[in-house]
Amino acid sequence: MVKKKISSGSWTFGKNIPLSFDDHIKRSIPGYDVSLNLITELSTYFLTDNSICYDVGFSTGKLISNIYEINKGKKIKLIGVEPEKKMVDFFKKTKIYRKSNNIKIINKNIENIRIENCDLIISHYTLQFIRQNLRIEILKKFYDNLNLGGAFIFFEKVHGNNSRFEKIFSDLLTDFKLKNNFSDEEIVNKNKAIRGVLNPLSINENLALLKRAGFKKLQIIYHNINFAGILAIK
């Protein structure tokens, strides 16, 4: 049997990925459902009547759907930003999108859209796929367009603070994936496919970027192996 050759940087969220995305991501990221639930609960602290919330890189729309449900009694506007058309098409077929009148979808890259004044912006494992030289400008745009007291909830894959921590994190993540029925070959191929596509920083580097963008109130709200969540309030 001839094995399919995987090229560096070949990872995409298109093709048939939307159909298997939620299952794949839960088996790839420790505590993925925990982070979804945490963000959903946190949204209730920042969204009130007439609030606007952005979900940047909403993938299959699971998070934006959860936020819609938990804030159902409020007159809010939810805006999902997703550059991958296959993901957008997938979400537009869901019942929650078809029955709601306050969810708007923008099929563009976040760096190419204008953001309205808002109370909450969410990046759930999204900025890590954007080139590092663009991130500071995007974060500044988030800060500038948040209302005073508004929040940016930021989840990312992160590097360890030194090579020893990074080795431990890498080993633990590989063990996690093997326990979730990924094969050695699948793990190696995925690591090769995301070279140059996934560009994580350390927690300290992400905190420094947020401070450069203007955020002063910062709190780490989640950390599991090399995945972390930060709450930044304007």
pLDDT, tens digit (0-9, with 9 covering 90-100), for 102-159 = 999 999 999 999 999 999 999 999 999 998 889 999 999 999 999 999 999 999 999 9
Global model pTM greater than 0.85 = yes
Q: Span 71-89, mean pLDDT?
A: 95
DSSP lists the bridge partners of residue 29 as: none
Residue 210 contacts residue 202 (beta carbons within 8 Å): no
- 183 token code pair: 């094969």
Report d(CA 35, CA 63) in Å as an integer: 10
Question: Does the pLDDT at position 16 exceed 80?
Answer: no
Which amino acid, 182?
A: F
Mind listing the domains of the chain with CATH numbers?
17-233 (3.40.50.150)
